[in-house]
Structure 1
Amino acid sequence: YLAGGSCQNTLRVLQWLIPVPEIAVFFGCVGKDKYADILENKARQDGVDVRYQVTDKEATGTCAVLISDKHRSLCANLAAANCFTDGHIRDPVNVQIINNAKFFYVSGFFLTVNESVAKEVAVAAQELEAPFAMNLSAPFICGYFRNRLLNLMPHITLLFGNEQEALTLATEEKFGTENM
């Protein structure tokens, strides 16, 4: 059992590497339930400052991971994660956190949830002259959500992904190469 999604777990690892309490701040949306409590407790134990938007419309998201040999399959129920609104990052406390940030990271998975928030964060990073990193997250992001990803490209300082994600993006963009 691992408490956290892609981005929250990335920030938990960052906190392990840079052991300065609350150097990483996570924004996300959760339900009012025991899973939200578990996520928050685990993140805080690892030093991550979590700034959840809480909704009563959906339960906290969950994900089953199936592993066979070298292959992994995720079966996600995003639930409350899909309820993240623009208003949450515009809360004055959250605006201050964003304005004080030195580095920004958005998971490609977030493009399925709220493209306008991803863009707003990317623009804020650019205005602050702070690096903006994005993870491609999964091949389907590079396919089905390609236009959303491309809209962010001018703001991305560091883009990373695995070989299959890079190949999908190269194919979708007709780069004419399969040599990754």
Structure 2
Amino acid sequence: MQKNVPKKCLKEHLIDFFYLATGNDFERAFEEVLGFLKIENKRLDDNSKKGALDYFVQLPSFPPLILELKSRETGKLVDPNRAVEVLAASEVHGYKDAFGVTLCQTSVDPSVPSVIASCSRLAVIEAVDLGEALLRYCEGTLSGEQLYRWLVTPGQAVAADLPYGDYA
């Protein structure tokens, strides 16, 4: 359980759900968090199209992002093949110009960053790192522009690279 939840963003049950969920529950937690933060999102994978992307996400005043959520059981890592699926799906389903993000729950294989290093439109993010970014966004210490720029930095986005500031 998250103990130091900022008072401005007090939704402990939602935070716990996001950090602990896997599979369909992880997708539901992701949607609930974005809904709470009023970040526009649309589920694209409704099981009617083979290989469809999971989500279309739009932060105000920025180009849309496409996201693929990959969850694994504890101890299993998201491998390079699963990390890059978002790019193939974006080509097939008409989002070839959108920046792709693979959100990994629980962890990404350590080989992934070097495999995707030359890809200019893909970021992989572990759920714990995105959780930190979204908490800061919620409490007003990370602006929408900072969040967007962090999300669209190619490679692996980690919480240690998030800027600090007081934007509330």
Q: TM-score range by the shorter chain?
A: 0.3 to 0.5
Higher-Rg structure is 1
Flag the structure with more relative contact order, 1 or 2, with Cα contacts below 8 A and sequence separation at least 6: 2
TM-score scaled by structure 1? 0.34
TM-score using structure 2 length? 0.35
